[in-house]
């Protein structure tokens, strides 16, 4: 893996905010490493146990939590939003759990409804929480489109899914994730971070470049919402997450196949972050890359960039977690995957 190590060293300096990454094939770790510092203030080095904010990689876990409740018979994919929240406005009567999972609900974007930041107050003191998001959505008279007719990436939908997990299970969302997913898989350091409720061990702090230097900045107005992006995890723990998907530890083959089935809509279909036509399941983009079937996702939030790419036929998974904004984590993951896949023709069939 000399080429992989060379690319990592070229991408990140040892004394800069950096990254942790892994290449895994069918449970066998081909390469994993950390480079750079978790906190520019202390110089604490990154290792593969360092916990990064996952941002939208969180959506995979939120979707899995919903799937576990469906298995338990506490939910159905055709359950309507107003079945869970009876006081939700009329436009929620057609929105189902499936719509929320696949970004076809048409819920308004809460980011466009919330108040703008007040420059004289710390961002942390102005952050919106899940319950406030729900109230903002209840204050609207209509969605962006009729549910199921269009696709539009929706953080609102995944915030609401987290609240649904909480209400239906009777457990706090973070506790449900810990008891039903993290602990069973041995993901000992992974946590849904909530200020004043949980702590992040071996935490990486987000960084942004400014005037040739680095400053710590990993909080925004939306950093306290949970189902759409609040989990912290490490490369070591995400290797266990990948193993669970490949071995069917949490979900059956039939359940995984459902999560990895592209949604179909009659109007505008899914697009990836590059505005290119894509496909989407339950918390996973599903469009192929260079002929390889792929389940993948990216995450972007203040100070962090993250990505997981699972090349289904080859059994290869590439994980990249960065605590700096100037690295395009998904693009780096593909470059790493290209090193491994070079010369290997895409196979046939699908592997989970």
DSSP H or E run through 21 = strand 19-25
Q: Which amino acids are annotated catalytic?
A: 56
Is pLDDT above 80 for 244? yes
The domain in which residue 241 lies consists of 2-341
Domain CATH number, residue 26:
3.40.710.10
Report pLDDT for 209.
95
Within 8 A by CB and 6+ apart from 129, the residues are: 224, 225
Is 351 part of a structural domain of the chain? no
Is 347 part of a structural domain of the chain? no
Report pLDDT for 1.
74
Report pLDDT for 346.
75
Is 321 part of a structural domain of the chain? yes
Report pLDDT for 347.
65
Residue where the block lists tokens 């109007």: 267
Q: In 90-204, which ranges are E strands?
A: 191-192
CA angle, corner 96, sides to 91 and 101, nearest 5? 120
Is 79 part of a structural domain of the chain? yes
Residue 258 vs residues 58, 81, 253, 341: alpha-carbon distances, Å:
19, 20, 9, 27
Is 350 part of a structural domain of the chain? no
d(CA 115, CA 36): 36
Average pLDDT over residues 294-302: 97
Is pLDDT above 60 for 44? yes
Average pLDDT over residues 34-53: 98
Is 222 part of a structural domain of the chain? yes
Q: What are phi and psi of 241, to 5 degrees?
A: -60, -45
Report pLDDT for 128.
98
Is pLDDT above 80 for 158? yes
The string of pLDDT tens digits covering residues 61-79 is 999 999 999 999 999 999 9
342: confidence class by pLDDT, cuts 50, 70, 90: confident
pTM summary value: 0.97
Average pLDDT over residues 158-170: 98
352: confidence class by pLDDT, cuts 50, 70, 90: low
Average pLDDT over residues 46-66: 98
Is pLDDT above 70 for 80? yes
On the CB side of 47, CA atoms within 13 Å amount to 4
Is pLDDT above 70 for 348? no
Is 32 part of a structural domain of the chain? yes
Between the two ends of the chain, the Cα-to-Cα distance in Å is: 25
The string of pLDDT tens digits covering residues 256-289 is 999 999 999 999 899 999 899 999 999 999 999 9
What's the chain's average pLDDT? Answer: 96
Q: How many domains does the chain have?
A: 1
Q: State the burial class of residue 61 (Cβ atoms within 10 Å of its Cβ: 0-12, 13-18, 19+).
A: buried
Dihedral over alpha carbons 100, 102, 105, 107 (to 10 degrees): 70
Is 346 part of a structural domain of the chain? no
CA angle, corner 303, sides to 299 and 309, nearest 5? 25
Characterise 290 by phi-psi region: left (phi > 0), alpha (psi -120 to 50), beta (else).
Answer: left
Instruction: Report residue 64 as tokens.
Output: 């899995």
Helix (H, G, I), strand (E, B) or coil at 283: coil
């Amino acid at each position: 893996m000399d080429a992989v190590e060379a690319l990592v060293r070229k991408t990140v300096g040892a004394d800069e905010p950096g990254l942790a990454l892994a290449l895994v094939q069918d449970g066998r770790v081909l390469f994993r490493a950390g480079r750079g510092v978790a906190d520019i203030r202390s110089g604490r080095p990154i290792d593969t146990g360092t916990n990064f904010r996952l941002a939208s990689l969180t959506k995979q876990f939120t979707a899995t939590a919903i799937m576990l409740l469906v298995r338990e018979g506490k939910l159905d994919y055709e359950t309507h939003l107003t079945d869970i929240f009876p006081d939700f406005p009329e436009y929620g009567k057609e929105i189902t759990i499936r719509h929320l999972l696949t970004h076809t609900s048409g819920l308004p974007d809460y980011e466009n409804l919330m108040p703008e930041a007040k420059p004289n107050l710390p961002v942390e003191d102005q952050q919106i929480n899940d319950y406030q998001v729900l109230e903002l959505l209840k204050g609207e008279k209509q969605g962006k489109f009729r549910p199921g007719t269009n696709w539009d990436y929706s953080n609102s939908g995944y915030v609401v899914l987290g609240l649904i997990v909480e209400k239906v299970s009777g457990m706090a969302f973070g506790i449900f994730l810990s008891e039903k997913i993290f602990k069973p898989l041995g993901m000992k350091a992974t946590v849904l971070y909530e200020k004043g409720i949980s702590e992040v061990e071996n935490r990486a702090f987000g960084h942004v470049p400014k005037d040739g230097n680095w400053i710590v900045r990993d909080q925004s107005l939306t950093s306290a919402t949970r189902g759409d992006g609040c989990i912290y995890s490490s490369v070591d723990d995400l290797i266990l997450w990948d193993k669970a998907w490949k071995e069917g530890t949490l979900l059956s083959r039939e359940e995984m196949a459902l999560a990895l089935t592209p949604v179909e809509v009659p109007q505008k279909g899914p697009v990836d972050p590059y505005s290119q036509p894509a496909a989407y399941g339950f918390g996973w983009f599903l469009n192929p890359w260079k002929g390889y079937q792929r389940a993948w996702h990216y995450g972007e939030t203040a100070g962090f960039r993250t990505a997981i790419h699972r090349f289904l036929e080859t059994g290869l998974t590439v994980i990249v977690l960065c605590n700096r904004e100037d690295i395009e984590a998904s693009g780096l993951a593909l470059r790493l995957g290209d090193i491994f896949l070079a010369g290997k023709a895409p196979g046939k069939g699908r592997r989970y």
